[in-house]
Amino acid sequence: MLRKLLLAFATLGVIVASSGCARTPAPQDVAADKAKLQTDALSWFDYFAKADSEGLANLYAEDALVMPPGGPALNGRPAIKTYLGAMASGAKAAGISLKQGSVTGSDVNGDLGWISGTYTVQDSSGTTIDSGNYLSVHHRTNGSWLYIRDIWNSDRPPVAAAPAKKASGKKSGNK
């Protein structure tokens, strides 16, 4: 009886010890994760150039938030697909191209990552008509880094508002 009890405790100890080892995650390969994040994130520019709204939308999580300059935030993949699809199609039709500049930073921690960089907008003659910066936050889902937050801004100052029109009417004053 004592022998069976000792064997049971020994077996239990081996099971507990081996299950603890199985749960130890492998160390994160940050360099490989950053490279994958950058590759996945920079494919955005390729889809934009092709005006591929489906490809663009699939880079975003279902509940992603895009915060474009000068407009309201877009919440969710369908709204993002419509907005970016229209923007990319309009740019392509007008002969305008969006070019990736440099990646200014990126990092990952577990399944979250971010990337920042610069871009330029060129007309059909190759003249730069705008430039700016972007920052996006990503979540790794099934091996791909999906955008969960995306924002960009122009380096150019905002366009000044048109002056208000003067009210028409008779001039008042002395007789």
pLDDT of residue 24: 63
Checking if the pLDDT of 38 tops 60, the result is: yes
Task: Examine the pLDDT at 108 and tell me if it is beyond 80.
Answer: yes
pLDDT tier for residue 30 given thresholds of 50, 70 and 90: confident
Is residue 173 very low, low, confident or very high in pLDDT (cuts 50, 70, 90)?
Answer: low
Q: What would the DSSP string read from start to end of 24-68?
A: SPPPP-HHHHHHHHHHHHHHHHHHHHTT-HHHHHTTEEEEEEEE-
Q: pLDDT tens across 131-144, in order?
A: 999 999 999 999 89
Rounded mean pLDDT, 110-121: 96
pLDDT band at residue 16 using 50, 70 and 90 as cut-offs: very low
Residue 6 has pLDDT above 50, yes or no: no
Predicted pLDDT of residue 42: 87
- φ, ψ for residue 148 (rounded to 5)? -115, -20
Check pLDDT > 60 for residue 19: no
pTM, two decimals, is: 0.76
* pLDDT tens-digit series, residues 118-134: 999 999 999 999 999 99
Contact 97, 91 (CB under 8 A): yes
Using only C-alpha atoms, the chain has a radius of gyration, in whole angstroms, of: 27
Q: Tens of pLDDT along 60-87?
A: 999 999 999 999 999 999 999 999 999 9
**What kind and span of H or E run contains 104?**
strand 97-109
